[in-house]
Amino acid sequence: MLCSTGYHLFCCHRSEKTSRRWLALDYAGISVGLLGCYIPGVFYAFYCEEYWRQVYLVTVLAVMLLVFFAHIHPQYFSPQWYTTRLVILSCVSLYGVIPTVHWIVLNGGPTTTIVQDFSPRVMIMYLLAGVAFVFYVGKVPERYFPGHVNFVGSSHQCWHILVVFMFYWWHQTAVLIMKYRHSTPCHETSLRS
């Protein structure tokens, strides 16, 4: 969020080069935030499944490295790449569905207690992210109230508020699953791959 704050403070700088550097830091901050969501989620979801934990952690790190390398492309922050940036960040976010579904299957399906306790929290996180995405892409509410939300209530501000709530929600979820994993020992029968 500090990277985003820096961008919003200095994006109006007279130098376009400076503005683009801050935009690059803003996108890097988004990527780091996504990485911060994945690492504890994957680590504790697959706490008893060492093989799958390593597979998903390495995959997430590789995907994030690719995103950071995309930032190096000279055209990445141009207006022509707006859609490409949205697609890349959306794919990185939606990738989390794969380990989530795999985690549900490994834990015995949607009827087991652990899945019923934690999968709704994952769904709420994705719901918050989806609503934030709709505000960001749809330019709601300024699309419907042009000129009335220039300073307070713009789509970008709504997006930031929802993302902060999403990160807070996911932090609380990570703390809960960490406490669960540290208090519930892994059973030898859960070492299936």
Mean pLDDT, rounded, for 116-138: 95
Closest CA to 177 of 55, 43, 52: 43
Average per-residue pLDDT for the chain: 87
Average pLDDT rounded to a whole number, residues 69-84: 85
The lowest-confidence range among 40-54, 84-98, 175-189 is 175-189
b/e 86-110 (16+ beta carbons within 10 angstroms → b):
eebbeebbebbeebbebbbebbeee
Determine the Cα–Cα distance for residues 193 and 67; give it in Å rounded to an integer.
Answer: 29
CB 52 within 8 A of CB 46: yes
Question: Would the pLDDT of 149 be above 90?
Answer: no
Which has more confidence, 10 or 25? 25
The answer, yes or no, to whether residue 167 has pLDDT greater than 50, is yes
Q: What is the CA radius of gyration of the chain?
A: 19
Q: How far apart are CA 94 and CA 87, in angstroms?
A: 10
Cα four-point dihedral sign 156, 160, 163, 169: negative
